[in-house]
Amino acid sequence: MMRSRLARSFTERSEKHGSNYRIVAAVTCRGCGIEDVIGIKAAAALMPPVAIAKKFAQRGWDIGQNEHWDTCPKCIAKKKEKPTLKIVPKIEQAVNHMMKAEPPRTMSREDRRIVFEKLNGVYLDEKRGYDTGWSDHKVAIDLGVPRAWVEQVREEMFGPVNSNPEIQEFLEGVKALKAIRDQVTRIDTISAEIKALNPASLTERIAKLEKLEALVRKSIPG
């Protein structure tokens, strides 16, 4: 698995391979620290970074935008496993609250680990923020935990939340479409009012006003 990335450099070195030496490129998993290497000698030249990234991707690596964001296949598979938390059913919570006032549930070490692993999979970095479709609220709903837990772990381990550019663009588009819809509704209303004011109706209303004016003038002395 490999996201679309700009060309980046890889750590290259010479290492012994059998009775000979070869030039290899190395990557290190940001999750577990495991290293993997591939030979990069191709004909009379070395493979370019794009080809190197493709080779690692074929092995199941997620190649990041730099050497600090590479993830090995095992860590990728681990992230896909949806963690579960032991949550007290809502009815039981309500009964407990009625029976006695208990302090709110605090985040345990295991809870913190699960929230961190989820954030590690959907929070890209401090500059870009969440991946498309994710937020503090969405992570809290997905795990079934208080949003405050997600905010706390995200602030401590990843930094302040930033809006995703794709989401921001989508929201701006929705706002623009709403403004257009309001304008169309206003135009339709004015058009209906204009159609209702036909010439015959206007003539009849003017005639009634003229009769009323004549009666008023007769009632005024002098």
Residue-number span of the structural domain to which 193 is assigned: 170-219
Residue 16 forms part of a structural domain = yes
Whether 121 and 158 map to the same domain: the answer is yes
Residue 187: inside a domain:
yes
The answer to whether residues 95 and 72 belong to one domain is no
For 98-116, write each residue's pLDDT tens digit.
555 556 678 888 999 999 9
65 with 99, same domain? no
65 lies in some domain: yes
50 and 96 together in one domain: no
Taking only the tens place, the pLDDT of each residue in 122-147 is: 988 777 888 888 889 999 999 999 99
Give 88 or 133, the one with higher predicted confidence. Answer: 133
- Helix H, strand E, coil C: the string for 16-74 is EECCEEEEEEEEECCCCCCEEEEECEECCEECCHHHHHHHHHHCCCECCCCHHHCECHH
Kind and range of the H or E element at 13? strand 11-17
Block residue for tokens 């004549």: 214
Q: Are residues 19 and 68 both part of a single domain?
A: yes
- Residue 73 sits in the same domain as residue 110: no
* Model confidence, pTM: 0.37
Number of structural domains found in the chain = 3
* Percent of the chain scoring above 70 in pLDDT: 74
Return the pLDDT at 19.
Answer: 84
